């Protein structure tokens, strides 16, 4: 990789060239799926020739692809490879499980992170408290229907109405217990209540005798999943408000941990912009 000069914003001891290239790669996100040389140069305070070499190097290794029609860049197939490796390597478990374990230890109950999977939420990370498992088998990869239980409702309540309509309209809603809600109008009223409260609480909607308290998880301002704590109602009786604030705090910590590199990149870009402004 060519030398792109000295960047004093790179922490001491880290290779500056590699750090700058990664900063540029992280500048591509949902809000900015396509970037040009001039745009990158301005954001990071680089000479256009340096920005050009950075983008060309990333494209050479497949992390970016260039649209020859407008000479702008988009994320390339190498990023897809790394994304698949992220799923397979258990990095999410490594980052999130310690956070879930803290609440599991405090409550004694199972705490889990679930991510959307079509019309379901899939448990991807779980930490068990002193009570042990909620079921007789591990919850990892367990699917929760979108209309039943707080784990799902805490997520789907915050989807845009159009996206939620695509999931629920013209789809039969199975009844799992006598508490399962299958009326769309009732579900929409419940979703509105969840949005107002910031958390969802259900008892026995999916599993008889299981209460669940859940909160949405956002990465920056984008809906990502839900985090929930569950317990057997024949063993424990809790006011959900007792744990709601802790659960929201956990949700925020998960969001911070999974977006911290992006936040750091933005802070670097903002500091660079401020430095250029003061120099003028």
Domains and their CATH numbers in the chain: 16-80 (1.10.10.10), 90-259 (3.30.450.40)
Render pLDDT for 209-222 as a digit per residue (tens, 0 to 9). 899 999 999 988 88
| CA 278 to chain CA mean position, Å | 35
Q: How confident is the model at residue 13 (pLDDT cuts 50, 70, 90)?
A: confident
Is 84 a residue whose pLDDT tops 80? no
Between 12 and 66, name the one with better pLDDT: 66
**What's the CA gap between 204 and 255, in Å, rounded?**
28
Is 267 a residue whose pLDDT tops 60? no
Is 35 a residue whose pLDDT tops 70? yes
Phi-psi bin for 122: left (phi > 0), alpha (psi -120 to 50), beta?
beta
What are the structure tokens assigned to 261, written together? 């590199």
Q: Is 70 exposed, middle or buried (0-12, 13-18, 19+ CB in 10 A)?
A: exposed
Alpha helix positions (H), 158-240: 161-168, 184-197
**Cα-trace Rg, the chain:** 23
pLDDT confidence of residue 140:
85
């Amino acid at each position: 990789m060519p030398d792109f000069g000295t960047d004093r914003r790179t922490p001491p001891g880290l290779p500056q060239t590699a750090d700058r290239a990664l900063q540029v790669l992280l500048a591509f996100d949902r809000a900015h799926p396509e970037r040009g040389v001039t745009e990158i140069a301005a954001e990071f305070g680089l000479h256009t020739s340096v920005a050009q070499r950075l983008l060309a190097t990333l494209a050479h290794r497949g992390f970016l692809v260039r649209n020859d029609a407008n000479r702008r860049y988009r994320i390339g197939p190498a990023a897809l490879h790394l994304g698949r490796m992220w799923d397979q390597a258990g990095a999410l478990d490594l980052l999130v499980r310690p956070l879930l374990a803290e609440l599991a230890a405090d409550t004694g109950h199972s705490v889990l992170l679930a991510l959307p999977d079509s019309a379901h939420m899939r448990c991807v990370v779980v930490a068990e408290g002193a009570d042990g498992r909620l079921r007789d088998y591990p919850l990892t990869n367990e699917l929760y229907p979108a209309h039943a239980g707080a784990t799902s409702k805490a997520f789907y309540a915050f989807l845009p109405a159009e996206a939620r309509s695509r999931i629920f309209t013209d789809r039969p809603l199975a009844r799992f217990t006598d508490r399962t809600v299958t009326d769309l109008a009732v579900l929409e009223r419940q979703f509105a209540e969840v949005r107002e409260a910031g958390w969802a609480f259900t008892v026995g909607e999916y599993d008889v005798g299981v209460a669940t308290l859940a909160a949405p998880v956002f990465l920056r301002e984008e809906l990502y999943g839900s985090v929930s704590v569950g317990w057997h109602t024949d063993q424990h009786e809790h006011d959900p408000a007792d744990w709601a604030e802790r659960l929201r705090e956990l949700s925020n910590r998960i969001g911070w941990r999974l977006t911290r590199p992006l936040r750091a990149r933005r802070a670097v870009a903002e500091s660079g912009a401020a430095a250029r402004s003061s120099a003028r």
